[in-house]
């Protein structure tokens, strides 16, 4: 990202007051961490600022936000980690945005200033640059916020978006007091009882094909009921089918309506999940793609396996 975008964004933030920071729907660690990281930084500069999330703030991130935030009529709205207005609440969609801070490759927010860098692993990496450029010392609170966003969006430094810069920022955040060990425990190890039951059922029902090079599981509504799982329990669940050692293509088909399935395909070692999904009218990335399909389990399974066979035996 060019330094000038950071310059412009910081000049705007430094020269203005009464700012409302806006998070996206189903708030994750990057939007919540980024918004509150910037919130504490602007507070330390004596500004009036609050964070708005029409979807609320998850209890999981309770350690990031204050008990109370004083609200006021904002003069400026700043989006944090929001790629599109479709990710905002109805009463937020028509707001006029002064600044948009984001790292998504496609960002369609209409804002006066746009501070978007798709090379950043997390929006929190960009907020880190802004906070430093504003001359604010990274407090322990800010460090916890930014570390949370970075660890969330990189899967704890596992994903391919992790760069040397990501690690350098992490080093400084830990030096500034980020409780990395506790944060990662909350983000990646702690799970609800329902999630754990769901994982148990998924692992039990995983079927292997083509000499273990393909694993497939159908997550029926009955299984979800049995586990007592809710929407938030499905986070990254599709990766389970790719985890067996010889699997090139892992498939999770989740029943969303009666006999309607949302299929997530994950691949490994050069196999293309995208090729499989394109055939069924879906899309995504090479190693993570998806599509929707209707029918009975056996027919769907046969169709998918036929396509997987063509992809891995070529």
**Interface with a copy of itself (CB under 8 A), residue from 16, 48, 139, 163:** 163
Q: Distance (Å, rounded) from C-alpha 4 to C-alpha 14?
A: 15
Q: Does residue 242 touch a copy of itself according to CB under 8 A?
A: yes
Among 9, 31, 123, 162, which residue interacts with a copy of itself (rule: CB under 8 A)? 162
- The pair of three-digit structure tokens given for residue 247, joined into one six-digit string: 């699997």
Q: Which of 253, 237, 228 is nearest to 199 (CA)?
A: 237
Looking at the Cβ atoms of 196 and 256, the one nearer to a copy of itself is: 196
**Greatest Cα-to-Cα distance within the chain, rounded to the nearest angstrom:** 63
Does 199 engage in binding with a copy of itself (CB under 8 A)? yes
Instruction: Between 72 and 159, name the residue whose CB sits nearer to a copy of itself.
Output: 159
- Closest among 106, 111, 81 to 95, alpha carbons compared: 111
Site of tokens 């703030």: 57
Chain positions 110 to 149 lying near a copy of itself, rule: CB under 8 A, are: none
Q: Please provide the DSSP assignment of 101-122 as one string.
A: EE--SS----EEEEEE-TTSSS
Smallest distance, a copy of itself to C-beta of residue 189, A: 5
207 binds a copy of itself (CB under 8 A): no
Is residue 250 classed as helix, strand or coil in its secondary structure? strand
212 binds a copy of itself (CB under 8 A): yes
Which CB, 100 or 287, lies closer to a copy of itself? 287
Contact between 245 and a copy of itself by CB under 8 A: the answer reads yes
Q: How far apart (Å, rounded) are the C-alpha atoms in residues 198 and 250?
A: 17
Is residue 213 part of the contact set for a copy of itself (CB under 8 A)? no
234 forms part of the interface with a copy of itself (CB under 8 A): no
Cα–Cα distance measured from residue 24 to residue 85, given in angstroms and rounded to the nearest whole number = 9
Q: Does 164 bind a copy of itself (CB under 8 A)?
A: yes
Is residue 293 within the footprint of a copy of itself (CB under 8 A)? no
- Binding segment for a copy of itself among 48-56, 117-125, 155-163, 293-301 (CB under 8 A)? 155-163
Least CB distance to a copy of itself at residue 121 (A): 12
Number of residues that bind a copy of itself (CB under 8 A): 42
What letter would DSSP give residue 219?
E
Please give the Cα distance from 154 to 28 (Å, whole number): 12
Q: Which two tokens stand for residue 117?
A: 């860098």
Stretch that binds a copy of itself, among 23-31, 35-43, 136-144, 197-205 (CB under 8 A): 197-205
Q: Which helix (H) or strand (E) holds 77?
A: strand 76-80
Give Rg (Cα) of the chain: 21
Q: Which residues bind a copy of itself (CB under 8 A)?
A: 156-160, 162-168, 170-172, 174-175, 180-181, 184-185, 188-193, 196-197, 199-200, 203-204, 206, 208, 212, 239, 242-245, 268
């Amino acid at each position: 990202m060019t330094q000038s975008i950071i310059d412009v964004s910081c000049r705007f933030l430094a020269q203005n007051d009464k700012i409302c920071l806006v998070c996206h729907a189903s708030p994750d660690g990057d939007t919540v961490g980024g918004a509150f990281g910037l919130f504490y930084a602007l507070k330390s500069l004596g500004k009036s600022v609050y964070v708005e999330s029409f979807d609320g703030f998850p209890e999981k991130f309770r350690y990031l936000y204050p008990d109370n935030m004083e609200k006021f009529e904002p003069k400026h709205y700043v989006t944090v980690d929001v790629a599109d207005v479709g990710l905002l609440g109805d009463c937020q969609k028509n707001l006029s945005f002064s600044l948009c801070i984001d790292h998504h490759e496609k960002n369609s927010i209409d804002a006066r200033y746009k501070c978007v860098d798709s090379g950043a692993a997390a929006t929190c990496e960009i907020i880190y640059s802004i906070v430093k450029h504003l001359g604010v010392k990274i407090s322990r609170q800010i460090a916890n916020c930014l570390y949370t966003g970075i660890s969330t969006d990189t899967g704890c430094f596992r994903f391919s978006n992790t760069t040397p810069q990501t690690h350098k920022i992490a080093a400084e955040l830990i030096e500034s007091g980020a409780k990395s060990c506790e944060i990662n425990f909350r983000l990646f190890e702690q799970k609800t009882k329902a999630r754990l039951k769901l994982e148990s059922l998924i692992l039990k029902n995983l079927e292997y094909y083509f000499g273990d090079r393909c694993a497939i599981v159908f997550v029926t509504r009955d299984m979800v009921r049995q586990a007592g799982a809710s929407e938030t329990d499905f986070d990254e669940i599709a990766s389970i089918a790719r985890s067996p050692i010889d699997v090139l293509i892992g498939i999770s088909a989740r029943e969303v309506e009666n006999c309607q399935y949302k299929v997530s395909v994950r691949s490994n070692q050069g196999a293309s999940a995208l090729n499989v999904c394109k055939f069924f009218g879906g899309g995504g990335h090479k190693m993570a793609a998806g599509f929707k399909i209707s029918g009975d389990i056996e027919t769907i399974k046969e169709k998918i396996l036929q396509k997987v066979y063509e992809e891995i035996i070529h």
